[in-house]
Structure 1
Amino acid sequence: MAAKVKPIPKGFHTVTPYLIVEGAKKTISFMEQALGAQHDHEPTLRPDGTVMHATLRIGDSMVMISDASEHAKAMPVMLYLYVPDVDAAYQRALKAGATSVMEPADQFYGDRSGGVKDAAGNSWFFGTHIEDVSPAELKKRAEEAFKKQKAA
């Protein structure tokens, strides 16, 4: 009798992002350079050399990726990554070929965050938590932020 396996594989969490992109090898290279992503194993390639499936670890999280196909069309996503130094992560991403979406800045919700877009059109936002904000204070700050946006 075969040993019982866990319903969630070791190293994974309940939710796992799966990126479907045009040019997976380029996106994987970006993830390695900018985010320190590491392969669990070599990617599985299709006969034409495109990526059928790859799994990468970023920090304590897994991300799956593949090239688009007739069954799975490319669709950009936005991912939010907590990092120790948002400014350094943002700069690494720019050096790896990303374009700026938002320069890092302190946000009303208690994070310092900034974002970039990779060549496949995915947005990667980086955050460093700098302050715990109570629900009541968060509501107050959000209302103030929306008033400032409306006035601008």
Structure 2
Amino acid sequence: MSDKGEQNIHDVYAYLRLHDTKAAIDFYARAFGAKELFRLVEPGGKVGHAEVKIGPVTLMLSDEYPEMGIRGPRSIGGTSVSIHIHASDVDRLFEQAVAAGATVVRPLQNQFYGERSGTVRDPFGHEWLLGGHIEDVTPEEMQRRYTELFNEG
């Protein structure tokens, strides 16, 4: 903590870099029910900035700008980040994402930490962990189950 007092953080946004933001906005609408808030388009058609809302969360998006070091997963050969969407009907959301063009990375299954979850990759290279609550699990029980996974086999 600094001498100037405590810092208040108001929001945290994921900012996705894409090779085709226009197509991504369409995909996110079909896959996750995203609502476009706005987009800023250069005269040549490149999307410099866009915002969509998925549930209560705003995602920021832009086309790639390799000359500025802004590259998406397709250009760098993968991603190290997964975006987690927690939904009331994860099975339906998972099916909807796959029907919209996502590929299954990890199928839906019940997890030790009290969630039913699976992972899909969107056509732009971003990974989405889709999950839904199935049971309350204390941190201690979660650790016990996690440790048990390593003791099997």
User: Structure 1: where are the runs of 5+ without partners?
Assistant: 1-6
The one-letter amino acid paired with 1:38 is: K
Alignment pair present for 1:117 and 2:121: yes
How far, CA to CA, are the matches of 1:27 and 1:99 in structure 2? 14
Structure 1 residue 78 displacement after superposition: 1.4
Distance in 1, Cα, partners of 2:92 & 2:150: 28
| Pairing of 1:13-28 with structure 2 (within 5 A) | 14-28=11-25
Identify which of 109, 126, 131 aligns with 2:130. 126
After superposition, what is the alpha-carbon deviation per residue over 1:38-66, rounded to whole angstroms, capped at 9, x for unaligned? 0122x111222121111000000000000
Q: Would you say how many aligned residue pairs link Structure 1 and Structure 2?
A: 138
The DSSP-based 3-state class of the residue aligned with 1:19 is strand
* Residue 32 of structure 2: aligned partner: 35
- TM-score for both structures, normalised by structure 2: 0.84
Task: Give the 3 Å change call, closer, same or farther, for CA 133–74 of structure 1 in structure 2.
Answer: same
Unmatched 5+ stretches in structure 2 = 1-7, 74-78
C-alpha distance in structure 1 between counterparts of 2:150 and 2:87, whole Å: 26
Q: Could you tell me the percent identity over the aligned residues? A: 39
Query: 1:3 — aligned with what?
Result: none
Q: Which runs of 4+ in 1 moved over 3 A?
A: none
1:61-140 equivalence runs, <5 A = 61-69=57-65, 70-71=67-68, 72-75=70-73, 76=79, 77-140=81-144
Q: Provide the C-alpha distance between the structure 2 equivalents of 1:15 and 1:64, rounded to a whole number of angstroms.
A: 11
- Alpha-carbon separation, structure 2, partners of 1:113 and 1:16: 22
Q: Which residue identity lines up with residue 65 of structure 1 in the other structure? A: L
RMSD (CA atoms): 1.6
Normalised TM-score (structure 1): 0.85
Query: In structure 1, what is the equivalent of residue 42 of structure 2?
Result: 46
